[in-house]
Amino acid sequence: MKTIQISHPEREKVTLDAYLLDGGLKLGQEVKRPAVVICPGGGYIYLSPREAEPVALAYAAKGIHAFVLYYSVGWEVAGFTPLRELDWAIGLIRAHAEEWNIDAEKILTCGFSAGGHLALAGGLLGQEKPNGMILGYPATKLATGDDPLMCRLLTGKDTPTPEEARWLDLAPQVTADAPPLFVFTTGEDALTRRMTLDLVTAYDDHGLLCEYHLFQKGPHGYSLANAVSADGSSQVLNPHVEKWLDLSVEWLFSVFGEPEFRDVSTSHIMDAMREMGIDLPAAPEADNA
């Protein structure tokens, strides 16, 4: 695997970190693999490291190219700048798909909490729409009359126009051409449980592909739900919820198909010996007697 960090052409704080799997590993297999663009959560105030590289490495271990988008946060979000940054990231990946051995028709967003809002917005409102979306406890509805902060962050206004306000509540933006969706949350997540159900209902109303998992117990912000992403907190450890990643990979391959491998030997010791100039004994002739 190789890693690359690519800076946004206009915003130096915005980067796309790529975790690219080797194309062949000397197996002669330049396999086109799916890719996920991970959007960490953090309420558009900061970016959670627990939902960034650990998730990327987990997907890479499953044979999927992974990217982490470190998008704008804080007051720089006004005008929903992160959505344009996600467009940039997906467009960049598609432009380099051949070079990076990525299947350009299998690029998905993956986001958590507010990052789930961004990953979903990319699929519903973006210019460079992903082919699918994987969302963990997504905060799909960000502004209420009691909490205008997200309204000011995303629009730069206390009273946005209807066009600007559509970024704040995404379930009503689901249309018949929305990308396939995998989503999970928990029954004890008071922040996202209801809004996730609203999103799933919108998908169901349009007859769209959607796999939904409501795990019974657990707080908001599980990430991988294991020690790799726990940052020392036992509150976000749950072996049952941890299964969401494997479920999402199974769903991805079931919807988009698995990479096609040729059936070849994984041993190349003979090739290596020839490169060293070592003469190899001829294979014995078959006994036809």
Tell me which residue of 7, 110, 123 sits closest to 54, measured CA to CA: 110
pTM recorded for the entire structure: 0.88
Gap between the Cα atoms of 134 and 184, Å rounded: 9
pLDDT at res. 222: 87
Torsion of CA 169, 123, 135, 65, to 10 degrees: -160
Report pLDDT digits (tens) over 154-184: 888 878 888 878 888 999 999 999 999 999 9
Between the alpha carbon of residue 212 and those of residues 17, 131, 165, 259, the distances in Å are: 28, 18, 26, 24
Q: Tell me, what amino acid is at 131?
A: N
Report pLDDT digits (tens) over 119-165: 999 999 999 999 999 999 999 998 655 567 788 888 888 788 888 78
Cβ–Cβ under 8 Å, residues 199 and 174: yes
At residue 15 the predicted structure's pLDDT band, cuts being 50, 70 and 90, is very high
For 247-277, b where at least 16 C-beta lie within 10 A, e where not — what string?
Answer: ebbebbbebbeebeeeeeeeeeeeeeeeeee
